[in-house]
Structure 1
Amino acid sequence: MKKNEKIIFHIDINNAFLSMTAVKLLNEGYDTDIRTIPAIIAHTDGRNGVVLASSSICKEVGIKAGMPVIHAFNIYSNVKVFQPDYEYYKNTSKNIYLKLLSYTELVEQASIDEWYLDVTDYLFNTDYLTLARKIQSDIFNQFKITVNIGISNTKKIAKTASDLQKPNKIIQIFNNELEEKLWPLDISKLFLVGEKTLAILKKHRILKIGDLANSDKDYIYRILGKSGIKLRESANGIDDSKVKAIPDKLKSISREITFSSPTDNVEYILTYLMKITEYICNRLRKNNFKTENIGIIIKYENFFKKSKQEKIMYTDNTNEIFKKVKQLFIDSYRRELKVRLVGVKLDKLKDNNDLLESEKNIQLNLFDFECNLDKLKNEVKKKKTNPHKKEIDHSKLDYVLDELNQKYGTNTLKRASSLLPSEIKNKSINISANKKGITFGYSDNRFE
C-alpha cells in the first residue's frame, strides 16, 4: 500500500436482525441464544408473512430472507418464529454509530447495519489491522454481536471485501492486491452488480471481476452505459467517493492506550501520554474547537481505575494541555502499582469562532485587570533579566506540525517528548529534503 492512500473500513453486522433480536431476548431473560437454533425473524400471525432473517442452521437447509414463512415450515417444521423489533434495531444501530465515532470522526451510516469509516488520519500509533481487530472486539464486548470488516483504499472495494466471507471476518483488498485477490472472483461478487447487470455481463462472457477490469472501455459503455464504466472503474480500484460523515458537533475527544505489559516506568508512561495528547489536540484543532476541561484515566495492573480532571482556560495548545495532563498524572499516580492503561479526555469543547465572538463582548472586571497586571509585571521582569531570549509561540508551532503532518503523512514530524528511546535516532535537530518529502531528526529534551 502506498503512503498517504486512503484506508477505508466497511463494517457490517453479521445477520443483523437475527443477531440483534437474539441479544434483546437474552437481555430479557430468554434462556436460549436463537442464533444457535433453527430460528427466523418474520412479521407473522402464524404461517403467513415473509422471512426477514434466518439463523445459520436455517440457512444451511435453504431457509433464507425473502422466502414465505409457509415455505420455511415446509423445509423445517420445528423452526421458531420471532417478531422483529425495529425500534430496538434502530437504537442498537445508533449506539454502534456513536461507538464508531470514538475511532474516527469520518463515519458514514450506509444502512441500519452497515457503516463506512475513513481511518486514514486516525490510526494513532497503531496499524489498520490492529484497529480493525479492536473495533470487532469492542463491538462484541459491548453489544454481543459480531461484525465483518472489509478494508480497502475505496468504499466500493471495502464493501466487496466485507461480503466475501462471514461471520466475524476481517478482509483486506488494497489497490496493489487487486490482481491477486479481487480479479479472480466471480463477477457477481463485485459491489453493485445486480441480477440484470450480471445477466448482461455473463451474456458477453465477462465472468470474472478481472474480465471487467481488463475489458475495453468503449465496449463496456455500449453494453451497460455509464453504470458499466463505473463498475469497470471500481474493478480497477478507482472510486473517488468520500465517506460522508454527519457533521455532528463534538462534545468530547478522548483516547486511551493499553500497554503490552503493565509498567512502572514513569518516563515511558509520560511519553505515551504526550503521544495521546498530540493526537487528540490535532483532532481538536482540525474541528476548530478549544477545551476548558482536561481529564486523565489510569488503570493499574489490578484493574483498579483512577480518573482525575481539572478545568483550565479555553485552549487548543498541545504544550499547555500536556502540562496539565502531566500534572494530573503525577498527582494521581500510585507508585506501588504498575500501570496497564492510560488515557486523556478533553471535554466542554467550544467552537473557536464562538469563543472569539464572546471575547468581543466581555469587559475585564477588576479581578481580571489585577491578574493581568501582575502577569504583565512578571513578563517585563523576565525580559529585563534576559532581554534577548525569544519565547516560542507554541500555538503557531502546533499549526505548523499539523500542516506538515497533513502534507507529508502522519508522524512526519513529532515532538521529542512523544518519542520512545527506540524512536530517537540522534540527539540534535536534523532536517533534510528530498523528492519523497522531508526527513526530521529530533532533540531529546523530555518533559521540561
Structure 2
Amino acid sequence: MNKSEKPKIILHIDMNSFYASVEAAHNPDLRGKPLAIAGNVEERRGIIVTCSYEARAKGVKATMPLWQAKKLCPNLFVMPPNHAKYRRMADRMFELLRSYTPLVEPVSIDEGYVDITDVEVNGSYLAFVKTIQQNILSTLNLPSSIGIAPNKFLAKMASDMKKPMGITILRKRDVPKVLWPLQVGEMHGIGKKSAEKLNKIKIYTIKDLAHADSITLEKAIGINGIRLKERANGIDNRPVDPEAANEWKSIGNSTTLRADTVNMTTIQNTIKRLSESVARRMQRKKVVASTIQLTIRYGKNRKTITRSMTEENAVEHMEELYERALFLFEKNWSGDPIRLIGVAVQNVIDKKETFKQLDLFSSNKKDEKKTKFHETLSNLQQKFGQDIVFKGKKDLE
C-alpha cells in the first residue's frame, strides 16, 4: 500500500435470520417467538429454509425436516417463504446503506460489503458503525451483525463471530491469534469438499493453510489454493464494487446467424449451444436462476421480441435451460426467417441463497446423482472440449 493511501475500512453487513426477521418485522406478534420458514408447510417432507434464533435455541436449523423441527420445538410457528417481500426489504436495506456511501456491494439478498474509508466520521468508527446497525434496526426492524476490517475477507470472517446484533473488529495483526487456531473448514471460501482435500495433505487449521507450500496446495485444490493461502494470511485486495452485483442479475448469450433461416435443426442447435454457454457461465459463478429468457430477431424487418418464463424452482443445468428456451421459441415464433437468437437467465442468485424443496424419501438421491452427473460432464467438457460428451444423436453439419 502506498504510504499516502488511507488504510481501508470495510464493513460486512450480515442480516440475522433474514427471512424470519422480515416476517417478524411485518407481524409484531411473531417477535421473540420460535419461527421457521419452510416449504410444503402442510406436509411432513417440508424442509426448514431458515429460522429465528429462538427456534435455533431449541435445536431447529436450516435443511432440517419439518417433522423433526416440530418434534424439537412443538410450539414452532411455521410460514411459507414470501420471496417478493424479502426482496423488497433487501432493497430498502441496501438503499439505507447507500445513504452513508455509494460504495455498497450486495453479495446476496441478506449480506453485502460497504467501504467507509472516505466517509467523514465524527468520533470513532466503532461508534459510527453502531449507528448504522441501530438505524437498520429502528427503520426496518431487522437485526444485523457487522464485521469491520481492512479488507473484504476479514470483514466477512468478523461478521460471523458475534450473532445476533454483533459488531466485531478484525485487524490484520489479529489474524494469527484469532483466525489461525480455527479449523480450515471454518474459513470463508472453503467448503466441505475442499476441507477434506486439505486435510488429506495435512492442512487442518487456518494456520496450516497460511504456511502451506504453494505448489502442494495448487496440486491439491487447483489455482484457488493460492488465493486461499493469501486469505489465510489476511491478504485480500478486492475492492468494494457497487457494479459487481449487476453481473448477477442477468447472464446471457446471443448469436447472429450466417443467414436468415427457418431451418428447425439449425435453430434447435443454436439454442442448444447458447444454453450450454449460459450454463457454463452460471457454473463458474456458482449461481442459479429462476427466469429463462429467449430473444428472437427476424431477418426481414429486424423486429426483435423477447419472451421469458419464471420457474418455482431455480434452474442451472444446460438441459433445463435448453428445454425451456425451446418451449419459448416454439410458443412465440411467427414462422418468419430468423437472423438472431439469444438465451439468457434472470433473477440470478448465489447457489447458497436458493432453496429447492426435495422429497426426503425419494428425490434427494435422484437430485444428488443428477448434480454429480452434471459436474462430471462439465469437468470433461472443460478439459477435453465441448464435443467430447454428448447425449443421443449428434447432428453432423
TM-score calculated relative to the size of structure 2: 0.58
The one-letter amino acid paired with 1:101 is: R
Root-mean-square deviation (CA), in Å? 2.1
The code of the aligned residue for 1:98 comes to E
On the 8 A contact 1:164/1:189 being kept in 2, the answer is no
1:282-293 to structure 2, matched below 5 A, reads none
* Paired AA for residue 135 in structure 1: I
1:102 aligns with 2:96: no
- Please report how far the alpha carbon of residue 91 of structure 1 lies from its aligned counterpart in structure 2 after TM superposition: 0.9
TM-aligned CA deviation for residue 25 of structure 1: 1.5
Query: C-alpha displacement at 1:143, in angstroms?
Result: 1.0
Match of 2:198 in 1: 201
Larger radius of gyration: 1
In structure 2, C-alpha distance between the alignment counterparts of 1:247 and 1:188, rounded to whole Å: 26
Q: What does residue 18 of structure 1 align with?
A: 20
Q: Which amino acid aligns with 2:96?
A: K
Aligned AA (2:11): F
2:212 aligned partner, one-letter code: S
Determine the C-alpha separation between the residues in 2 that align with 1:219 and 1:8. 32
CA deviation digits over 1:98-133, x for unaligned, max 9?
110111110001111001001111143443212211
Q: Give the AA of the match of 2:17.
A: N
CA contact (8 A) 2:151 2:237 kept: yes
Render the CA deviation track for 1:48-86: whole Å, top value 9, x for unaligned: 421111122322332211122122223333322112221
The answer on whether the counterparts of 2:15 and 2:142 sit within 8 Å (CA) in structure 1 is yes
**Structure 1 moving runs of 4+ over 6 Å:** none
Q: Which amino acid aligns with 1:39?
A: L
The reply to whether residue 149 of structure 1 matches residue 146 of structure 2 is: yes
Aligned to 1:9: 11
Percent identity of paired positions between Structure 1 and Structure 2: 35
Aligned to 2:40: 44
Asked if the contact 1:153–1:237 (Cα under 8 Å) also holds between the matched residues in 2, the reply is: no
What is the 5 A alignment of 1:421-436?
A: none
More RCO (CA 8 Å, sep 6+): 2
Q: Which amino acid aligns with 1:86?
A: H
Amino acid at match of 1:143: L
The residue type equivalent to 1:206 in the other structure is I
- Equivalents in 2 of 1:78, 1:245: separation in Å? 42
Q: Following the alignment from structure 2 to structure 1, what is the Cα–Cα distance between the partners of residues 141 and 34?
A: 20
The 5 A counterparts of 1:339-418 are none
Any idea what the Cα deviations from partners look like across 1:123-147, whole Å, max 9, x if unmatched?
4344321221111111111111111
Q: How far apart, CA to CA, are the structure 2 residues paired with 1:218 and 1:45?
A: 50
Give deviations 1:160-219, integer Å, cap 9, x for gaps: 111122111111112122112222222222111101011122233322211111222222
Task: Say if 1:247 and 1:184 are closer, same or farther in 2 by CA, change over 3 A.
Answer: closer
Alignment of 1:261-280 (within 5 A): none
CA gap 1:217/1:137 in 2 versus in 1, 3 angstroms: same
Check conservation: 1:7, 1:119, Cα contact below 8 A.
yes
Aligned to 2:117: 120
3-state DSSP of counterpart to 1:44? coil
Secondary structure class of the residue paired with 1:109: strand
Distance in 1, Cα, partners of 2:15 & 2:244: 24
Is the Cα–Cα contact under 8 Å of residues 105 and 114 in structure 2 kept in the other structure? yes
Aligned residue type for 2:233: N
Instruction: Give the structure 1 partner of residue 181 of structure 2.
Output: 184
Could you say what secondary structure the match of 2:113 adopts? strand
Between the aligned partners of 2:204 and 2:172, the Cα distance in structure 1 is 21
In structure 2, the CA distance between the partners of 1:181 and 1:123, relative to structure 1 (3 Å rule), is: farther
- Gap regions ≥5 residues in structure 2: 246-397
**Within the alignment, does 1:80 sit opposite 2:77 as a pair?**
yes
Cα distance between partner residues in 1 of 2:168 and 2:147: 5
Q: Distance in 1 between matches of 2:92 and 2:145?
A: 17
**Equivalences for residues 286-301 of structure 1 within 5 A:** none
CA distance in 1, matches of 2:106, 2:136: 16
How many angstroms apart in 2 are the aligned matches of 1:195 and 1:69?
24
- Distance verdict in 2 for CA 1:111–1:154, change over 3 Å: same
Contact 2:145/2:164 (<8 A) preserved: yes
Q: Which amino acid aligns with 1:75?
A: L
Displacement of 1:16 after TM fit? Answer: 0.5
Where 1:215 maps in the other structure, the secondary structure is: coil
Paired residue secondary structure (2:27) = helix
- Aligned counterpart in structure 1 of residue 223 of structure 2, from 221, 226, 229: 226
CA contact (8 A) 1:173 1:182 kept: no
Superposition deviation, residue 45 in structure 1:
4.2
- Which residue number corresponds to residue 137 of structure 1? 134
Amino acid at match of 1:132: V
Say whether the 8 Å CA contact 1:40–1:55 is kept in structure 2. yes
> Alpha-carbon deviation of 1:247?
9.9
The corresponding residue for 1:212 is 209
Q: 1: distance between equivalents of 2:234 and 2:188? A: 12
Tell me the alpha carbon deviations over residues 210-268 of structure 1, each in whole angstroms, 9 at most, x when there is no partner.
111122222211211111111111111222211111499xxxxxxxxxxxxxxxxxxxx
Equivalent position of 1:63 in the other structure: 60
* Paired letter, 1:19: S
The 1:247–1:52 alpha-carbon spacing in structure 2 relative to 1, beyond 3 Å, is: closer
How big is each residue's C-alpha offset from its partner over 1:6-32, in whole Å with a ceiling of 9 and x where there is no partner?
A: 111000001111111111112xxxx34
Mean Cα deviation higher: 121-130 or 134-143: 121-130
**Are 2:105 and 2:244, in contact at CA under 8 Å, matched by a contact in 1?**
no
CA distance in 1, matches of 2:86, 2:180: 36
